[in-house]
């Protein structure tokens, strides 16, 4: 199976299910949070998230560390990707990047593709 075609299909499914591609802020958040959310490239972050999960189940901290980014860039993506049917929770486990703190964190994996028919 061609990995590039698999990637294209995965990202096409994400794009089709994409909402406006904007970041989120709660209505109770300060104006600065709403301004920052407007600057987030959600599509890019979702693509990075999905690419990382091709390696297997990961926590959002592990995904962030893979890209040398902040966990807060990826943790808000999980609920949206679950709603889109692209990832699923696969239990809790000790995060590999917990710096010795041995935190138990929720792990995610790519959801098996469902038939489109």
For 37-51, how does the pLDDT look when each residue is reduced to its tens digit (9 = 90+)? 677 788 899 999 999
Q: Which residues neighbour 73 within 8 Å (Cβ) at sequence distance 6 or greater?
A: 45, 64
pLDDT in tens, 53-89: 999 999 898 999 999 998 888 888 898 899 989 999 9
Specify which residues 104 forms β-bridges with.
Answer: 94
Say whether domain 3-110 belongs to CATH 2.60.40.1220.
no
Residue 15 pLDDT > 60: no
Nearest to residue 22, comparing CAs of 64, 71, 76, 69?
76
With contact defined as beta carbons under 8 Å apart, do 114 and 87 qualify?
A: no
> What DSSP state is assigned to residue 58?
B
Q: In the chain, what are the domain boundaries? A: 3-110
User: Scanning the structure block, which residue is given the tokens 């698999």?
Assistant: 6
């Amino acid at each position: 199976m061609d990995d590039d075609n698999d990637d294209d299909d995965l990202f096409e499914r994400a794009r089709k299910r994409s909402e406006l591609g904007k970041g989120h802020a709660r209505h109770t958040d300060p104006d600065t949070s709403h301004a920052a959310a407007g600057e987030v490239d959600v599509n890019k972050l979702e693509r990075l998230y999905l690419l990382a999960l091709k390696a297997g189940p990961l926590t959002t901290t592990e995904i962030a560390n893979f890209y040398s980014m902040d966990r807060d860039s990826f943790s808000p993506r999980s609920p949206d990707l679950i709603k889109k049917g692209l990832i699923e929770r696969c239990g809790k486990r000790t995060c590999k990047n917990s710096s010795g703190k041995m935190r138990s964190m929720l792990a995610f994996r790519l959801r098996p593709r469902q038939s489109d028919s």
